Chains A and B, each alone.
Chain A
Amino acid sequence: MLEQSNLGQAFFNSFMIAIPATVLPVTIGAFAAYAFAWMNFPGRNYIFLALVGLLAVPLQLTFIPVLHFYVQNLHWTTDNLEATGIPGLPWVPLWLAHAGYGLPFSIYLLANFFRALPSDLFESAEIDGAGTLTVFFRLVMPLSVPAIASLVIFQFLWVWNDLLVALIYVGSSAEVAPMTVNLANLTTSLGAGSNLLTAAAFFSMIVPLIVFLSLQRYFVRGILAGSVKG
């Protein structure tokens, strides 16, 4: 029975969606947060304020134009992307969307953390002749492990548990749809198959529960960082 419902494929898809959709906003967000915290450029404070405003904007507001652009202008339908045969390509629209939606929170959290690092650190590094990349990867990153860890957990769980975004962008095809879509389909299509449903629900919960139980400390810290996620 479980084979019929494509559970293994959906489980795999969930990972293939969640991993890049976590890596992208965290790394790109870290670059941007570093610039917001320790570089000077015109309009810096206003752009940051705009990002804070975007934290509260409902994602629902963005789906229709993005979907329209994907289908009409880029021809990025799941079928087209699968036809190219390039591995991973069918998920690119979803990765980028999750990255865009996750970035305001990721920048907000990391910039606040980076800003709190002592400025002497950067001055002495500069005197020693360290380049921007060295400062970022050898100094800022190792010092920010707690903040980055909590952000990674947050984003990973958010993407793993997301139904709406996946439903909108890849909802119709079982080859790329994640666990949550699969599970939601089971609830509506198999009225009497509660044995199957519970098994599928258990599988969808097991990964986040493992992540949560093993990294609880960071998870709570991420929440306490004061957050409004769009």
Chain B
Amino acid sequence: MDFGVLLTDLPTLVVVILGVPALIGAYIVGSEFLVRRLSDKRRPQVRPWFWVGPALFLVAAYLLLPAIGTVFQSFENNNGNFIGLGNYESQFANFPTGGAWVAIRNNVFFWLIFYTLFTLAFGLILAVLFDRVLYENIVKSLIFMPMAISSVALGVIWNFMYQYQSPGESQLGTMNALVTFVLHHDPVSWLQDQWPTPTFNILNNLALIGAATWGITGFALVILSAALKGIPADLLEAARVDGAGELTIFRRVIFPLMMPTIVVVGTTLVIFALKAFDVVYVMTAGNYGTDVLAYRMYNQLYTAGNSGGASAVAIILLIAVVPVLIFNLRQFRAVEARR
């Protein structure tokens, strides 16, 4: 492998590692130098804008203005002419299999429900089961580890898990090895099989969601486990003294007390579910009825060269996220009010 590039491209290395921080440092020292020359009264008025300036510029240039631009572009065709709701019409055409319907169904139905529920359920169960176990930290680290790797690598791993060889041959994929050896069933092509019907293909979507869930469960586990440790021990003690069984304690004491945390984790997961992209891109490329909105947008933009359509898909995604966004803002305000 050619790792010589790490040394031969030294100028790039120097520019990147030293140049960027030097530039930022020069900016803040230079601006402070300028602010010092102002009168005492003007100084506190001007200084904050130098400190927030670069951040506000970048956020405006890369998030706020483009988002607004996309809204306008979704009403235009590729030549920049206004065509009203034309892009939306073609995205919403031919229910239930045409346009963006498959992607909408997968995102707003399969991913949103199953990804969120599976992750929360696994996270909660693991957090409760491994609480106060001797090797808790080792287990947590192991379950958390997939968080560190990229979804692309995750897709590669799970592609091997789901590998399919024709019946009778030895199965290389772990899932199919289990299916044939333990259940004595014919191997299943997990990613292609549109079981039960091509218009409502749960199986391959769940296969993708399962892979994504494996990658994110650690996130839910860590937060939920921290919330669980925050529950006062005397509360549980009191419940036990009153003769409540462990299941009742979980249902009546632990679960209600953890509800606020579950809601926070849940909303985060909903956003992740709506934005799913990498796993689909690597594992099925949106084929076999597994398209999602983010992938469809990418596809419309690059493969179909249809930037108006891509914008419309992005806006559909935004509309799906808006309830979560409003919810987040309300939560934030409530927390601020309590300060």
Tell me if A228 and B59 are in contact (CB < 8 A).
no
> Do A65 and B321 have beta carbons less than 8 Å apart?
no
Among residues 40 to 63 in chain B, which have CB atoms less than 8 Å away from a CB atom of chain A? 44-45, 47-49, 51-52, 54-56, 58-59, 61-63
Within 8 A of B (CB), among A3-31: 3, 7-9, 11-12, 16, 19-20, 23-24, 27-29, 31
Task: Tell me whether A161 and B4 are in contact (CB under 8 A).
Answer: no
Binds B, one of A96-104, A117-125, A143-151: A96-104
- Select one of A3, A20, A36, A54 contacting B59, CB under 8 A: A54
> Judging by beta carbons under 8 Å apart, are B16 and A88 in contact?
yes
Residue of A nearest to B148 (CB): A212
Nearest-neighbour CB distance to chain A for B222, whole angstroms, equals 5
Given known A40-B44, A97-B62, contact A87–B11 (CB-CB < 8 A): yes
Segment at the A interface, from B17-25, B128-136, B200-208, B240-248: B17-25
Whole-angstrom CA separation of A64 from B6 in the bound complex: 33
Given contacts A19-B16, A54-B64, contact A223 B219 (CB under 8 A): yes
Question: In the bound complex, how far is the Cα of B215 from the Cα of A205, in angstroms?
Answer: 13
A residues less than 8 Å from B63 (CB atoms): 54, 57, 62, 100-101, 104, 230
Count, A-B residue pairs, CB within 8 A: 268
- Report the bound CA distance from A62 to B63 in whole Å: 6
A206 to chain B, nearest CB (A): 9
- Shortest distance from the beta carbon of A9 to any chain B beta carbon, whole Å: 6
Partner of B152, one of A36, A39, A204: A204
B69 at the interface (CB under 8 A from A): yes
Question: Which chain B residues in 50-83 approach chain A with CB under 8 Å?
Answer: 51-52, 54-56, 58-59, 61-67, 69-70, 73
B307 at the A interface (CB under 8 A): yes
- B258 contacts which chain A residues (CB < 8 A)? none
Chain A interfacial residues counted at CB < 8 A: 95
Tell yes or no: A174 within 8 A of B by CB. no
Shortest Cβ distance from residue A39 to the other chain B in the assembled complex, whole angstroms: 4
Q: Are A29 and B55 in contact (CB under 8 A)?
A: yes
Given A16-B12, A87-B9, A209 and B321 contact (CB-CB distance below 8 Å): no
Q: Are A99 and B58 in contact (CB under 8 A)?
A: yes
Whole-angstrom CA separation of A184 from B61 in the bound complex: 29
Interface membership of A32, Cβ < 8 A: yes
B34 to chain A, nearest CB (A): 12
Q: How far is the CB of A1 from chain B (nearest CB, A)?
A: 9
B223-A228 in contact (CB<8A): no
Q: How far is the CA of A194 from the CA of B14 in the complex (A)?
A: 36
B139: min CB distance to chain A, Å: 13
A7 to B5, CA, bound (A): 11
Contact, CB under 8 Å: B310 / A209: no
- Bound form: Cα–Cα A96–B317 in Å: 24
CB distance from A35 to the nearest CB of B (A): 4
Q: Tell me if A164 counts as interface (CB < 8 A to partner B).
A: yes
A97 CB to nearest B CB, Å? 6
Contact status A56-B62, CB under 8 Å: no
C-alpha gap A52/B326 in the complex (Å): 10
- Among A41, A51, A224, chain B packs the most CB atoms within 10 A around the CB of A41
Stretch at the interface among B89-97, B113-121, B267-275: B267-275
Determine whether the beta carbon of B149 is less than 8 Å from that of A204.
yes
Shortest distance in angstroms between B284's beta carbon and chain A's nearest beta carbon?
A: 11
> Does A39 contact B48, Cβ atoms closer than 8 Å?
yes
**A80 interface residue (CB < 8 Å to B):** no
Tell me if A35 and B48 are in contact (CB < 8 A).
yes
* Interface: A127 (CB within 8 A): no
- Residues 125-158 of chain B: 1 if any A CB is under 8 Å from the residue's CB, otherwise 0? 0000000000000000100110111111101110
Residue of B nearest to A33 (CB): B55
A157, closest chain B residue (CB): B148
Given contacts A52-B332, A87-B15, A208-B149, contact A36 B159 (CB under 8 A): no
In the complex, the answer to whether A64 meets B62 with C-beta atoms within 8 Å is no
Structural contact, B32 and A87, CB atoms closer than 8 A: no
Asked whether, in the complex, the Cβ of B156 is within 8 Å of the Cβ of A64, the reply is no
Residues on A lying within 8 angstroms of B by beta carbon are 2-3, 7-9, 11-12, 16, 19-20, 23-24, 27-29, 31-32, 34-36, 39-41, 44, 47, 49-66, 68-69, 86-88, 91, 95-97, 99-101, 103-104, 107, 131-133, 157, 160-164, 167-168, 179-180, 183-184, 187-188, 194, 197-198, 201, 204-205, 208-209, 211-213, 216, 219-220, 223-224, 226-228, 230
* Interface CB pairs A-B, < 8 A, 8: A8-B2, A29-B55, A35-B52, A57-B318, A87-B15, A133-B32, A187-B159, A201-B152
Given contacts A66-B66, A201-B153, 13 further A-B contacts (CB under 8 A): A8-B5, A9-B5, A19-B20, A23-B20, A49-B332, A56-B325, A61-B67, A64-B66, A87-B15, A163-B281, A168-B298, A187-B159, A205-B148
